Structure 1
Amino acid sequence: MRMMIEGFERAMERWAANVWTFVRGPRHKPMEVVAVLRKECDDNAMIVGHGRTLVPNLFTIELPHETHRRLDVHSAELAPQLAAQVRRHAAERRYTFAGPVTVRLHPAGDPGGSRYRVRSHVEARPSATPPAELTQVLPLPTP
């Protein structure tokens, strides 16, 4: 089963590489974006407790307008693939997230720009049932 999953992941990576090459040309490699997403995690890691390091879980990739227009039809497949790469990196580094990892593709604010930019932040999404440590009643300190 594991080999089947790894084969699927490699096929998705090749697909994402082919889409990126089609859009940006061979001089811009798709792994550049993955490397930037990984760096974004590393640069914004926050130690929140013993053995817990929190990293961003919401990533916005701002693309040049023409690139965004071309990639928009593939964003439903490409964004989850990029999110999977972020989750894999986080698992290797033992990072934690405040909520599900989401990658969004948006057009850049500068219509004439030719570079992409990645922005990230932590977006906490409460679960239906809070963890036990958040619902415990703690004793009041005695004077």
Structure 2
Amino acid sequence: MGTLIRWERALERWQDALLAKAFRSEQVELLDALRHECDSHAVVCSQSRVVVPNAYEVELDPDVYRELRRRGGRVGQALTDVLVRHGDANRYEWAGPLTVRVVPSAGLPNGRYRVTSSVMHHVRVDAFA
């Protein structure tokens, strides 16, 4: 059991390092925005069931997006993992398979990123490849 916990912690450190490289000082702000998007669209169905959106899109400045692609970063997967941990901690139920898609977008309101979510019931994992 101890080996599994050490492996999970090492994986979390690796993901944090990847996000830090990708977003530098904006990492915490972006992660908070992703969690907030999840929390603000939670639907309480019963005392023991809270459903949240399962499809998230993170729009990045085109230059930042190109840099991530150049480095071969798997930021979408790292952000998905962050949301999984957040959902587990809050006992959320996803509306379907969870995906986080990272895309370039010009004209962002804060010039850096925008996070949106939606419910997609029949999402295939390879649909965002």
Taking structure 2 as the reference length, what is the TM-score of the superposition?
Answer: 0.81
Q: Which has the larger radius of gyration?
A: 1
Q: What's the secondary structure of 2:74's corresponding residue?
A: helix
Q: Per-residue displacement from partner, 1:44-87 (whole Å, max 9, x unpaired)?
A: 00012341111111111111221222223457511111000001
Q: Which runs of no fewer than 5 residues in structure 1 stay unpaired?
A: 22-27, 127-143
Instruction: Tell me, yes or no, if structure 1 residue 11 matches structure 2 residue 8.
Output: no
- Larger relative contact order (C-alpha < 8 A, sep ≥ 6)? 2
- Return the structure number with greater strand share: 2
Contact 2:80–2:100, Cα closer than 8 Å, also in 1: yes
CA distance in 2, matches of 1:89, 1:113: 25
Contact 1:64–1:112, Cα closer than 8 Å, also in 2: no
Question: What does residue 43 of structure 1 align with?
Answer: 40
- Return the structure number with greater helix share: 2
Question: What does residue 76 of structure 2 align with?
Answer: 79
Alpha carbons of structure 1 residues 15 and 124: separation in structure 2 relative to 1, 3 Å: same
Taking structure 1 as the reference length, what is the TM-score of the superposition?
Answer: 0.74
CA distance in 2, matches of 1:106, 1:80: 13
RMSD, aligned CA: 2.4
